[in-house]
Amino acid sequence: MLIPHGTIIALVDGKNFELYRNKGDESDPELKAMKAPKLDQHNHSGGGHHSSSSNPTGHLADEDAHANAVTQWLNSHVLGHKIEQLIVIAAPRTLGEMRHHYHKQLERALVTELSKDLNGKQPNEILDALRNRK
């Protein structure tokens, strides 16, 4: 897969958010780690998940709030023209939640998505996963 120069790659799971920028060219990408922002997850409800002692799904609500906070940050950066091209790589459940919150402009900026948890992986492993995506 060709990754355009300057493309931002967002790695997301239920708790973590990592960012990379392709500093190389399309055919020879070179991922450079970027500092991920501190996200405000307090006002981002996870939707219909309610936690109680008989229904301990609080971690699902926390994961959904994290996915929503990441997506809101990405939306704002796409709308602010700080991100022109984007690849989202996220754990399957997280990616599903993120898609509910994509702005139309973010959808247009997407180069591709990959439903896989790659947080904590090295840049060469990320590039291999993108090259071998199905």
Spans of all domains in the chain: 8-37+57-131
Sheet holding 86-90, edge to edge: 31-34, 17-22, 8-12, 86-90, 110-115
Position 57 scores a pLDDT of 60
Q: Helices 92-99 and 58-79, interaxial angle, to 10°?
A: 50
Going from the C-alpha of 110 to that of each of 10, 38, 61, 99, 114, the distances in angstroms are: 11, 23, 26, 11, 11
Q: What burial class does residue 115 get, using C-beta atoms within 10 Å of its C-beta: 0-12 exposed, 13-18 middle, 19+ buried?
A: middle
Q: What burial class does residue 120 get, using C-beta atoms within 10 Å of its C-beta: 0-12 exposed, 13-18 middle, 19+ buried?
A: exposed
- Whether the CB-CB separation of 49 and 57 falls below 8 Å is answered with yes
In tens, the pLDDT along 103-134 reads 999 999 999 999 999 999 999 999 999 999 86
Q: What is the pTM of this model?
A: 0.86
Position 134 scores a pLDDT of 61
Instruction: Quickly tell me which residue has 């609500």 as its tokens.
Output: 61
Position 44 scores a pLDDT of 45
Hey, which residues does 103 pair with through a beta bridge? Answer: none
Position 88 scores a pLDDT of 98
Work out the pLDDT band at 62, boundaries 50, 70, 90: confident
CATH 3.30.420.60 matches 8-37+57-131: yes
